[in-house]
Structure 1
Amino acid sequence: MVDVEEPELPRGIALAWGVAANPQRGPKREMSVERIVEAAVDIADAEGLGAVSMAAVAARLGYTPMSLYRYVSAKDDLVLLMQEEATGLPTEESRNAGGWRAQLEALYREQVQAYLRHPWVLEVPIRGIPSTPNSAAWMDAGIRALAETPLTHDERLAVLLIVTGAARWTGIVLASYARLERERGMGDHEIARYEDALFRSLISAEAYPALREAIDAGAFLDESDPFAFGLERSLDGVAQYIDAVAGGDRPARAPWQGLDDAEISDDKRYREAQKAVRDAEKGLRDAHRMLRQTAREARDRRSRQRADG
């Protein structure tokens, strides 16, 4: 194994772990990183992440923007600390919810709730493995939930990624619908009916037969939680895998997936050929659409001819 030199902590991560040096002088001693982060979170909760700036936070606290830089030197560091604050910690209830599955389901629900309370967190880009205390606590809780299973440590981490990924996707969709409810003044049932009607007007059985069948079956008006269903079925698969491993059967793991054509993706002629394929596919879709339209018109004409005849 190659020795890796211990990296120097970025300022934001050092602040999150409480190992960064605090300024000894400042405009007033009551200023602190905690107050700055709290004010920034309040702004983001009320107006969105885009409204957060050093100037806006300073104005809320009654200071000049330059005074904040003595404590938080960059906006990226501030956003990291905001995310850490908004994420919080998993509760003891989730840590003691029962078996591995009950604990993971509880962690999923708590993460979704955190996203709904602070939806702007979902706008923060993912930059590698979470490296702050609260995010580490969530990872620890998820891995700990699987400690009594025969899964290896990397398998436990993979299962945790299923849960956190499901929570994030659920949060994205639910937060988006909550925003629609506020903007349109509509309830969730009204939005569902509106979208169902919109889909019915756009999606034809000729062009999208399976999707149209789902629409006609009322799939988009179903009031059950599809995200919870998806997580439950995923955990069913994990349970089956745990049973298989306990019985001595550990299937081979798939490697990381990458871009299939990564080695040639920047080649000019290759990119031109890709564009030609996309254009041809679009032309084919347009031709099929025209064919369906003319077929409908032909049937209408034939029906009128029979009626007149």
Structure 2
Amino acid sequence: MSDSPDVELPRGVALAWGIASSPQRGPKREMSVEKIVDAAVAIADAEGLGAVSMAAVAARLGFTPMSLYRYVTAKDDLLLLMQEQATGLPPEEVREVDGWREKLQVLYGAQMHRYLEHPWLLEVPITGAPATPNSAAWIDAGLVALDGTPLTHDERMAVSLLVAGHARWAGMVTVGYARTQGAAGVDESQFAAREDALFRDLITADAYPALRAAIDAGVFLGDSDPFAFGLARSLDGVAAYLAGAEEGRRDAPIAWPRDDNADIAGDKRFRDARKAVHAAEKALRDARRLERVAAREAKSRLG
């Protein structure tokens, strides 16, 4: 750990690194940060993140909520520690495969597995990169996978974030499907057929021509994994960029997006104008919805 005196760690981060001071009073052997986090994760796995509260965790452990606060002083700290535990460490398999692409694909699959194992991870608010040991280990594993390539450190970080983003997006949809499947008691083919039927009923060629063509082509009934396809094509792009970098060709760094109106966001006339734009956009969406309904009803009467 750094000896820098300039950084005051939040208690949750300090707890994750094991450098927070222990409470001087309270139940000793019967209570610990580890036991509190174990209980909170068990509740979240069984009932969802919304069921986790200091009171619920205390009740599971047989203590009062106040006794927990001696160890974990805020629910946000508890969420951070839950995320840290459920995230775990990157798989050892990533060390056993050769090639940067193969290593990143292993990390992608392992991250997906974490979301399926602990779906509530997707509900934890993202406020930045968690500065915790396990989260750091995943970032490090992505960077190690790209070690030896001509990519700069910034570019390696960008590729690592790309893979993590693919895993999170795929996890969101896969977990949503798993929840629907469990609730409805249907298998994958039944779910796909029901989803296809729903879209066929709602999506018209007049309003959404490209989407309707995809539905008619059976896009919801296919066996291909769109997320694995997207990751593969993204990594194709990385491979092409690597080839160029090896020959001395690389793109200039891309800056973060900037809101050109940030400096006037507090101006009342500007805020009122922006609200008027949002209201007009909503009115247009509502009008188009009514138009689609009227068109469907007219075709039904005339058909």
Q: Do they fold alike, i.e. is TM over 0.5?
A: yes
Distance 1:294 1:176 in 2: 32
Residue 144 of structure 1 aligns to which amino acid in structure 2?
Answer: V
Deviation readout 1:239-287 (Å, 9 max, x if unpaired): 0000000001011121101334323333333333334444444555526
- Runs of 5+ unmatched residues, structure 2: none
* 1:51 matched to 2:48: no
* 1:81 matched to 2:102: no
SS of residue paired to 1:269: helix
TM-score between the two structures when normalised by the length of structure 1: 0.89
Report the Cα offset of residue 289 of structure 1. Answer: 6.0
1:44-123 superposed matches below 5 A: 44-123=44-123
Q: State the identity as a percent.
A: 63
Which shows bigger deviation, 98-107 or 290-299?
290-299
1:1-309 superposed matches below 5 A: 6-284=6-284, 286=287, 290=291, 293=294, 297=298
Distance 1:222 1:298 in 2: 30
Report the Cα offset of residue 128 of structure 1. Answer: 1.6
Distance 2:143 2:83 in 1: 21
Distance 1:279 1:82, change over 3 A: closer
SS of residue paired to 2:205: coil
SS of residue paired to 2:253: coil
Distance 1:136 1:204, change over 3 A: same
SS of residue paired to 1:263: helix
Which shows bigger deviation, 152-161 or 257-266?
257-266
Distance 1:109 1:277, change over 3 A: same
Distance 1:259 1:196, change over 3 A: farther
Query: What's the Cα RMSD here?
Result: 2.3
The structure that has the greater radius of gyration is 1
Distance 2:166 2:104 in 1: 11
Residue 208 of structure 1 aligns to which amino acid in structure 2?
Answer: Y
Report the Cα offset of residue 94 of structure 1. Answer: 1.5
Q: How many residues matched?
A: 299
Report the Cα offset of residue 27 of structure 1. Answer: 2.2
TM-score between the two structures when normalised by the length of structure 2: 0.91
Distance 1:287 1:17, change over 3 A: closer
Distance 1:288 1:34, change over 3 A: closer
Residue 87 of structure 1 aligns to which amino acid in structure 2?
Answer: T
